[in-house]
Amino acid sequence: MKKYFLILGIGLLTLYQVKAQGHGPIYGLQTPTLAKGGINMNAAGMSIATEDEASYMLRYTFFYGITEDLQVTFTTPTVIERLENAPRTRGNSMMPSNGDIEAALWYRFFSNAFGVGKRFESTAILGVSAPTEDVRGQVNVGNSIHGAISTGYASRTWYAWLGGGYQYYFEKDNQQLGDLPYASMVIGYRPNIFMGDYPKPDWRIFVESLAEFPGDNKVNGQFFSTDERSKKVLVGPSILGLAGPWGISFGALFPVVQDLIPNTPREKYRVSLNISYWL
């Protein structure tokens, strides 16, 4: 296991040569978009563990602000170790935790700034993805589409986001991965001690929750086991540290509810480390 974390660390450190972005939670949906012309990249190391195995992956994400309310993202993985029986999940808010290559548009369709540093805003996301493997969890994996909406409040001290999304995988060779409706909620806090300007450090803490309702896989149009859905709720902390143009975040989720359909793996935890630089 140590060798995987060494590989993750080397991959993340190499990204200090490029520009990246990150301002909010890791797992929950959020609303911020880049400024017009902003170009950013993000590197993440992530792992998902079930009762029997664990995955390890590096993921790189490119951000570009078309306008201050519209951004495009492109993300691609370096998979170190796959799960033989992978749970159906997106894993992270801005990037999938499986082997998909994904492109997406983020459109902030509502923004209302008031007071000093306070605002309400809402953002819609539409993305398409292609897998980097032929089979996932013993099922042929096809291309997919993903849509989500998030709304939230941000101030100098408190943050809150509530969102929901849906991912649909297309059929491939008479087999089809189950779809994924999900919802997320995030509460964030920035202590007074960290409200000074750079070069003072700036740290924010979040409590994130994620509810997922994956459907069963299909073969020849028939469900593997049942037409009912699994129900999973995961909760955990994350932190975000900012220093000048640099950011680093780390978070973990742990299952509190796992009401699963047959042949679905039980999760133990999810962890993620992000390093970012933005303009």
pLDDT digits (tens, 9 = 90+) for 78-91: 999 999 888 888 87
**Bridge-based pairing state of the strands 175-176 and 180-189:** unpaired
pLDDT of residue 16: 35
Contact between 247 and 241 under an 8 Å Cβ cutoff? The reply is yes
Please write the tens of the pLDDT for every residue from 183-224. Answer: 999 999 998 887 766 677 789 999 999 999 999 999 998 888
The total domain count for the chain is 1
Confidence tier at 102 by pLDDT (50, 70, 90): very high
Tell me the CA end-to-end span of the chain in Å, nearest whole number: 35
In this predicted structure, the answer to whether residue 251 has a pLDDT above a threshold of 70 is yes
Q: Which residue has the tokens 């859905």?
A: 229
What pLDDT does 198 receive?
65
The residues with which 235 forms a beta bridge, in sequence order, are: 209, 254
At 154-175, the pLDDT tens digits run 998 999 999 999 999 999 999 9
Residue 140 backbone dihedrals phi, psi, to 5 degrees: -60, 135
CA distances from 111 to 21, 23, 68, 105 (A): 21, 17, 11, 17
Q: Which of 29, 84, 99 is nearest to 54 (CA)?
A: 84
DSSP 15: G
Structural domain span for residue 215: 2-277
Task: Please check the confidence at residue 121 and state whether its pLDDT lies above 80.
Answer: yes
Q: In this structure, what CATH number is given to the domain that contains residue 100?
A: 2.40.160.40
User: How high is the pLDDT of residue 53?
Assistant: 94
Residue 94 has pLDDT above 80, yes or no: no
Distance CA 279, CA 277 (A): 7
Strands 70-81 and 100-114: antiparallel
Give me the pLDDT at residue 155, please: 92
Chain mean pLDDT for the chain: 88
pLDDT band at 262 (very low <50, low <70, confident <90, very high): confident
